[in-house]
A and B are shown apart, each in its own frame.
Chain A
Amino acid sequence: MTPAPAVAVAGLGKRFGAVTALDGVSFSVAPGERFGVIGPDGAGKTTLFRILATLLRAGTGTARVLGLDPATDLWTLRPRLGYMAGRFSLYPDLSVDENLRFFASVFGTRLDAQRRNIDPVYRHLEPFRDRRAGALSGGMKQKLALCCALIHTPDLLLLDEPTTGVDAVSRREFWDLLEDLQADGLTVIVSTPYMDEATRCDRVALMQQGRILALDTPQAIAAGYGRPLFAIDTPDRYKALLALRAAPGTHSVFPFGATLHYTAARADLAPAAVAAGVNDVLRQAGLAEADVAPTPPTIEDAFMARASTDGR
């Protein structure tokens, strides 16, 4: 028998005046899973998290969190949730330890009693334990917020954009920390606007404008891209981009890291024929021959393909 889901939502919707923030969202998260909610600003991520965290009532649909209803069972549910809000919401004038002690006392526990539980995160903070939270670096602030969300040993962690605005190195470290924390079965739902972070999750929901565009493992979403994708390596990236975009044989072309990602209008062409077609276009535009090779699609490719075929 499969265990009861940690979170199950069905047809969840929420409007603010004329704005539909959530538009019929359904998914479930298994205990111990790391579930990513991935999408740009305005996708509805924060609204979803606030509903799950008992802070906002859904307009339509149902939600069960740890078997409870977040709208009516909030007093039983809230102590079992660790919630990290998208904006830094700790006390900047309190020190690291003072913030932790405060949040421990709110949940009826003590910092010293929780030291072992929070240790994977706290040991990064300990050298700065007396520093004011407001004077910490961006990465350290996020770690402190995570530590405060963990202080009462929650069963479910809701992290709303913990890595936004944080540099690439600190982002990697934050995801490494989550892996450490989940060694003993903690369920984590985490949102991010950074598509590359999808690969750090067991499953992800790609969201845009209040709806889920795709819901699966990151590998399956990338694999479901549906067209042969090519990387074009050219020194004249911008000119090549403009020339290829105007060419009738092109289905899509975008800058992608060091290369251009390209799909041909005809999906049945052999790779050599695609390369020849691309180089014809480049030659006619007076550009040097480029290296054109098949490349595996990423989550970003998948997101862009789904978003643009989704008639927005």
Chain B
Amino acid sequence: MGADAIATDAAIHARDLTRRFGGFTAVDTISFDVAPGEVFGFLGANGAGKTTAIRMLTGLLAPSAGQATVAGFDIARDSEAVKRSIGYMSQRFSLYEDLTARENIRLYGGIYNLSRRDVADRATRILQRLGLEASADRLVRTLPLGWRQKLALSVALLHEPKIVFLDEPTGGVDPLTRRQFWELIYETAAGGTTVLVTTHYMDEAEYCDRISIMVAGRIAALGTPASLKREHGVASIDDLFVRLARPEAAP
């Protein structure tokens, strides 16, 4: 084994990561590092390979070739340790809607094997911070979407993971709530947790420390939003996205 295989301080370290499904290469030799405490935007058009890459990085899918470490653990050999070190939230599935806010926190605390005392302490802290104390015993499905999403992020952070994966966390919410959610992301990163986030809102790409844009399984652009705009001579990440994802359509 090469000496540099595991020795990395990066929160996420991917080298030539590849996944094939039959004759189709969904993720094609991607390499990138994400630093601890960084907010990393993981962008790409539908079908570009983002979801497959995230499934590998979260230990749910074995790579066909290449390697990656997440929180220092090899995703292929040590996928269970990877899963314990990460949090995950998506717009589609995060909380049990027929449980209350407090019951969701307790359920996830149990899944992550936290002590009763820890769960109770953290539940109080989360509910306080979100201003949800009065609604702690309401069914989640009766809470406004914005609250559900903030609660889902808090629950994904319940076991104090090193890295949290957010898959389109802000879909469908109003612009004010979307910004409040981003402030929670900043706060999370400021506390040292690494955030990898996907989004279809191109203005949110600008909120990230660095972004990558996947096109047809490969990383077509990687850098800070400001440096990428400079390099490509575009006014916004939206323009860059269109140019990379549909080269034939660019004016």
Minimal Cβ-Cβ distance residue in B for A233: B226
Binds B, one of A24-32, A91-99, A166-174, A282-290: A166-174
Is A88 in the interface zone, CB < 8 Å from B? no
Are B225's CB and A193's CB within 8 A?
no
> Closest Cβ of chain A: how far from B221's Cβ, in Å?
14
Is B206 in the interface zone, CB < 8 Å from A? yes
Is A109 in the interface zone, CB < 8 Å from B? no
Are A169's CB and B242's CB within 8 A?
yes
Residues of A close to B207: CB separation below 8 A: 237, 255, 257
**A130-155 interface bits toward B, Cβ cutoff 8 Å, 1 = contact, 0 = none:** 00000001110000000000000000
Asked if A166 meets B200 with Cβ closer than 8 Å, knowing A40-B145, A42-B145, the reply is: yes
Please tell me which one of the listed residues A39, A165, A169 contacts residue B246 in the complex, with CB atoms under 8 A apart: A169
Please tell me which one of the listed residues B45, B171, B173, B226 contacts residue A258 in the complex, with CB atoms under 8 A apart: B226
Residues of A close to B45: CB separation below 8 A: 139, 167-170
> Closest Cβ of chain A: how far from B190's Cβ, in Å?
7
Binds A, one of B4-12, B130-138, B176-184: B176-184
Asked if A307 meets B176 with Cβ closer than 8 Å, knowing A168-B200, A257-B206, A258-B225, the reply is: yes
User: What range describes how many residues of A lie at the interface?
Assistant: 35 or more
**B79-109 interface bits toward A, Cβ cutoff 8 Å, 1 = contact, 0 = none:** 0000000000000000000000000000000
Is A60 in the interface zone, CB < 8 Å from B? no
> Closest Cβ of chain A: how far from B160's Cβ, in Å?
20
Is B203 in the interface zone, CB < 8 Å from A? yes
State in angstroms the CA–CA spacing of A62 and B170 once bound together.
Answer: 35
Asked if A164 meets B171 with Cβ closer than 8 Å, knowing A41-B145, A42-B144, A42-B145, the reply is: yes
Using a CB-CB cutoff of 8 Å, which residues 168-201 of chain A contact chain B?
168-173, 193-196
Are A172's CB and B242's CB within 8 A?
yes
Are B175's CB and A304's CB within 8 A?
yes
Minimal Cβ-Cβ distance residue in A for B245: A169
Q: How many of chain B's residues have a CB under 8 angstroms from any CB in A?
A: 34
Is A275 in the interface zone, CB < 8 Å from B? no
Minimal Cβ-Cβ distance residue in B for A171: B200
State in angstroms the CA–CA spacing of A237 and B168 once bound together.
Answer: 22
Asked if A193 meets B172 with Cβ closer than 8 Å, knowing A41-B145, A241-B183, A254-B179, the reply is: yes
Asked if A208 meets B174 with Cβ closer than 8 Å, knowing A40-B145, A238-B186, A258-B206, the reply is: yes
**B147-177 interface bits toward A, Cβ cutoff 8 Å, 1 = contact, 0 = none:** 0000000000000000000001001111111
> Closest Cβ of chain A: how far from B45's Cβ, in Å?
4
Is B110 in the interface zone, CB < 8 Å from A? no
Are B190's CB and A170's CB within 8 A?
no
> Closest Cβ of chain B: how far from A214's Cβ, in Å?
13
Are B47's CB and A137's CB within 8 A?
yes
Residues of A close to B200: CB separation below 8 A: 165-168, 171
- Counting chain B CB atoms within 10 Å of each CB, the highest count among A139, A193, A237 belongs to A193
Using a CB-CB cutoff of 8 Å, which residues 298-312 of chain A contact chain B?
300, 303-304, 307-308
Is B40 in the interface zone, CB < 8 Å from A? no
Using a CB-CB cutoff of 8 Å, which residues 193-234 of chain B contact chain A?
200-203, 206-207, 225-226
Using a CB-CB cutoff of 8 Å, which residues 27-83 of chain A contact chain B?
39-42
State in angstroms the CA–CA spacing of A304 and B179 once bound together.
Answer: 10
State in angstroms the CA–CA spacing of A241 and B202 once bound together.
Answer: 20
Using a CB-CB cutoff of 8 Å, which residues 261-312 of chain A contact chain B?
300, 303-304, 307-308
State in angstroms the CA–CA spacing of A137 and B202 once bound together.
Answer: 20
Is B29 in the interface zone, CB < 8 Å from A? no
State in angstroms the CA–CA spacing of A304 and B177 once bound together.
Answer: 9
Are A168's CB and B47's CB within 8 A?
no
> Closest Cβ of chain A: how far from B188's Cβ, in Å?
11
Are A257's CB and B203's CB within 8 A?
yes
> Closest Cβ of chain B: how far from A33's Cβ, in Å?
25
State in angstroms the CA–CA spacing of A307 and B179 once bound together.
Answer: 14
Residues of B close to A41: CB separation below 8 A: 145, 172-173
- Counting chain A CB atoms within 10 Å of each CB, the highest count among B175, B202, B225 belongs to B175
Minimal Cβ-Cβ distance residue in A for B174: A40
Minimal Cβ-Cβ distance residue in A for B243: A169
State in angstroms the CA–CA spacing of A171 and B202 once bound together.
Answer: 12
**B98-130 interface bits toward A, Cβ cutoff 8 Å, 1 = contact, 0 = none:** 000000000000000000000000000000000
Are B174's CB and A307's CB within 8 A?
yes
State in angstroms the CA–CA spacing of A233 and B145 once bound together.
Answer: 31
Give 8 closest A-B pairs by Cβ, nearest first: A40-B174, A41-B172, A138-B46, A238-B186, A257-B203, A167-B45, A258-B206, A257-B206
6 further contact pairs, Cβ within 8 A, besides A42-B145, A167-B46, A193-B172 = A40-B173, A168-B202, A237-B186, A237-B207, A238-B190, A258-B226
The interface of chain B, by Cβ under 8 A from chain A, is 44-47, 144-145, 168, 171-177, 179, 182-183, 186, 190, 200-203, 206-207, 225-226, 236, 238, 241-242, 245-246, 249
Q: What are 24 sample pairs from A and B whose C-beta atoms fall under 8 A apart?
A: A40-B145, A40-B172, A41-B145, A139-B46, A167-B44, A167-B46, A167-B200, A168-B241, A169-B45, A170-B46, A171-B200, A173-B246, A173-B249, A193-B173, A196-B203, A254-B179, A256-B203, A257-B236, A258-B225, A258-B236, A303-B175, A304-B175, A304-B176, A304-B179
